[in-house]
């Protein structure tokens, strides 16, 4: 049977058209050195129970690609600024600004570093992209273990010119504990190599009963001239070095209130020296703000140090309570053991972030004379039980209402370490990514060399 040239031409054209559709490029970020992207982000929430005003936030996120890295990633400086609104009006609080750097690959992978911490997120403007055609057609995920979070991405639409829309849904422990949902639809423009817009929906049904929505838009897409970029990159390197050195100085004073004033002075000097050496107005302004933030933080750090002095290296105040199962318990029951008390409540997000490390501490010292106690201050027992079940906590939880005041606890989470003779030897306030190592080191030190009661 003969096939006409017209039919052959038609079949060939059809195959080529199909191949062209299938071979549409994978979405990839275009992170050219010097590129500057500025996004606006707005969010509004309405109460679903009629309680309280509408609330929201207005934010900007600025990205500048500073240079290429040897591993193929790009060094990006990130400036996030936000302000809360209530009833449609901005409050009087100062704008909340976070500066960080990120080493970003063109598929959205971000290497962890201390400057990003837990406060700076790129999920809203640099979401993860699919690694191959299979993921682009079926979906992909990104895990953020430190935040106990997985983001699931599903494709919504792709055109032959590379425009892609996809949906991101958050699924994590905090979603479960606070009964929250978060869904974002992203629009990626292949010609720009960037997210150009996004729409989000969110809800919460613990603490607050709200439902809301938000939008993200690409406001500016500019290029920083090479003669301006070099000094800018150098000054940002100095800023991040100062940021890390200040953090190290303040960490040295953790658990040692007598060193707090010295650490505060050293941190201030580091920022002042960095500011004096900078040449660009933009970074000098950021360092000026960093200095003001450090001074505000120093005030609270000094107050914490004074409270800590009242407790540290002194006999632990005794307390009587019941555990979550109603069994009586008191501080003196644990004499002869190293005791770690973790003060928390369900509404404290930082407590939830810290809790997996507390759980690991209890497992690290299982079978040794160490008692890890969850000191819960929720007024409703059901809230404590919800978290215990969700987190899979095996160590003992104490109904600790009234106990934090005995130890001068004002911030949550607070972990207090008491030695075998009942003397307070460790006092750690707040979340830290090195909490497990820091507390574990103190416990091992006490196990290796039991302390003596004060004369």
CB 129 within 8 A of CB 158: no
Across the range 106-119, mean pLDDT stands at: 92
Q: How confident is the model at residue 451 (pLDDT cuts 50, 70, 90)?
A: low
Domain boundaries, given as residue ranges, for the chain: 31-223, 227-309, 320-448
CB 198 within 8 A of CB 185: yes
Helix (H, G, I), strand (E, B) or coil at 110: strand
pLDDT in tens, 195-247: 999 999 999 999 989 999 999 999 999 999 999 999 999 999 999 999 999 99
Q: How confident is the model at residue 452 (pLDDT cuts 50, 70, 90)?
A: low
**Phi, psi for 106 (deg, rounded to 5):** -70, -10
Across the range 104-125, mean pLDDT stands at: 93
The per-residue DSSP string of 189-247 comes to ETTTTEEEEEEEEEEEEESEEEEEEEEEEEEEEEE--HHHHHHHHHHHHHHHHHHHHHH
CB 210 within 8 A of CB 203: yes
Across the range 262-269, mean pLDDT stands at: 95
Question: What is the C-alpha separation between 102 and 62, in angstroms, rounded?
Answer: 12
pLDDT in tens, 405-416: 999 999 999 999
CB 255 within 8 A of CB 426: yes
Geometric angle at alpha carbon 74, from 247 and 285, rounded to 5°: 50
Question: What is the C-alpha separation between 379 and 96, in angstroms, rounded?
Answer: 31
pLDDT in tens, 289-305: 999 999 998 988 898 88
Residue 58 exposed, middle or buried by CB count within 10 Å (0-12, 13-18, 19+): middle
Geometric angle at alpha carbon 375, from 371 and 436, rounded to 5°: 60
Question: What is the C-alpha separation between 163 and 192, in angstroms, rounded?
Answer: 10
Helices H / strands E in the chain, number of each: 10, 19
Amino acid 158: pLDDT? 75
Amino acid 7: pLDDT? 41
Q: Distances in Å between the alpha carbon of 31 and those of 37, 59, 65, 106, 193? A: 10, 22, 6, 7, 8
Q: What percent of the chain has pLDDT over 70?
A: 91
Return the half-sphere exposure (C-beta side, CA atoms, 13 A cut-off) of residue 85. Answer: 16
Instruction: Give the Cβ contact number of residue 363 at 10 Å.
Output: 10
Q: How confident is the model at residue 260 (pLDDT cuts 50, 70, 90)?
A: very high
Task: Kindly state the tokens that stand for 424.
Answer: 């307070």
Beta bridge partners of 180: 204
Across the range 185-189, mean pLDDT stands at: 96
Distance of alpha carbon 114 from its chain centroid, rounded? 11
Distance of alpha carbon 247 from its chain centroid, rounded? 16
Peptide bond into 225 cis (omega under 30): no
Beta bridge partners of 166: 155, 186
Amino acid 25: pLDDT? 80
Q: What percent of the chain has pLDDT over 90?
A: 81
- For residues 304-325, one letter each, b for 16 or more C-beta atoms within 10 angstroms of the residue's C-beta and e for the rest, the string is bbebbeebbeeebeebebebbe
Distance of alpha carbon 51 from its chain centroid, rounded? 29
Fold of 320-448: Glutaredoxin (3.40.30)
CB 218 within 8 A of CB 62: no
Amino acid 117: pLDDT? 86
Across the range 303-312, mean pLDDT stands at: 90
Helix (H, G, I), strand (E, B) or coil at 362: helix
- Give the relative orientation of helices 226-252 and 281-309 as an angle to the nearest 10 degrees: 10
Helix, strand, coil share (%) of the chain residues, nearest 5: 35, 35, 30
**CATH class (in words) of the domain with range 31-223:** mainly beta
Q: How confident is the model at residue 24 (pLDDT cuts 50, 70, 90)?
A: low
* pTM summary value: 0.88
CB 368 within 8 A of CB 444: no
Q: Is residue 166 pLDDT above 80, yes or no? A: yes
């Amino acid at each position: 049977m003969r096939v006409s040239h017209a039919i052959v031409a038609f079949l060939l054209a059809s195959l080529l058209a199909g191949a062209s559709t299938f071979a549409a490029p994978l979405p990839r970020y275009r992170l050219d050195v010097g590129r500057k992207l500025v996004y606006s982000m707005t969010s509004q929430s309405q109460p679903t129970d009629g309680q309280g005003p509408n609330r929201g936030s207005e934010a900007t996120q600025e990205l500048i690609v500073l240079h290429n890295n040897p591993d193929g990633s790009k060094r990006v400086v990130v400036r996030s600024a936000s302000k809360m609104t209530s009833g449609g009006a901005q409050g009087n609080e100062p704008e909340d600004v976070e500066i960080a750097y990120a080493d970003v690959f063109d598929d959205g992978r971000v290497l962890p570093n201390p400057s990003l911490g837990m406060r700076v997120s790129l999920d809203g403007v640099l979401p993860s992209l699919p690694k191959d055609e299979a993921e682009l057609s079926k979906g992909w995920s990104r895990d953020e273990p430190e935040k106990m979070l997985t983001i699931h991405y599903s494709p919504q639409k792709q055109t032959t010119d590379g425009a892609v829309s996809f949906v991101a849904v958050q699924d994590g422990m905090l979603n479960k504990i606070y009964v929250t949902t978060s869904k974002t639809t992203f629009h990626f423009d292949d010609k720009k190599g960037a997210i150009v817009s996004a729409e989000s929906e969110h809800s919460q049904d613990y603490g607050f009963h709200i439902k809301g929505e938000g939008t993200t838009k690409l406001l500016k897409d500019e290029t920083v001239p090479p003669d301006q970029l070099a000094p800018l990159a150098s000054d940002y390197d100095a800023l991040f070095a100062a940021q890390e050195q200040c953090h190290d100085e303040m960490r040295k004073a953790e658990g040692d209130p007598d060193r707090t004033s010295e650490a505060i002075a050293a941190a201030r000097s580091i920022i002042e020296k960095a500011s004096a050496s900078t040449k660009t107005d933009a970074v000098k302004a950021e360092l000026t703000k960093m200095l003001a933030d450090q001074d505000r933080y120093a005030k609270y750090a000094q107050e914490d140090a004074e409270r800590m002095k009242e407790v540290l290296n002194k006999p632990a105040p005794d307390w009587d309570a019941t555990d979550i199962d109603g069994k009586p318990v008191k501080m003196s029951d644990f004499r002869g053991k190293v005791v770690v008390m973790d003060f928390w409540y369900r509404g404290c997000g930082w407590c939830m972030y810290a809790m997996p490390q507390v759980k690991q501490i209890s497992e690290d010292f299982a079978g040794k004379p160490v008692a890890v106690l969850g000191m819960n201050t929720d007024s409703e027992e059901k809230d404590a039980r919800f978290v215990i079940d969700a987190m899979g906590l095996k160590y003992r939880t104490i109904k600790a209402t009234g106990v934090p005041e005995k130890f001068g606890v004002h911030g949550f989470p607070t972990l207090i370490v008491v030695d075998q003779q009942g003397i307070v030897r460790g006092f750690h306030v707040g979340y830290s990514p090195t909490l497990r190592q820091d507390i574990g080191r103190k416990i091992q030190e006490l196990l290796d060399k039991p302390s003596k009661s004060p004369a």
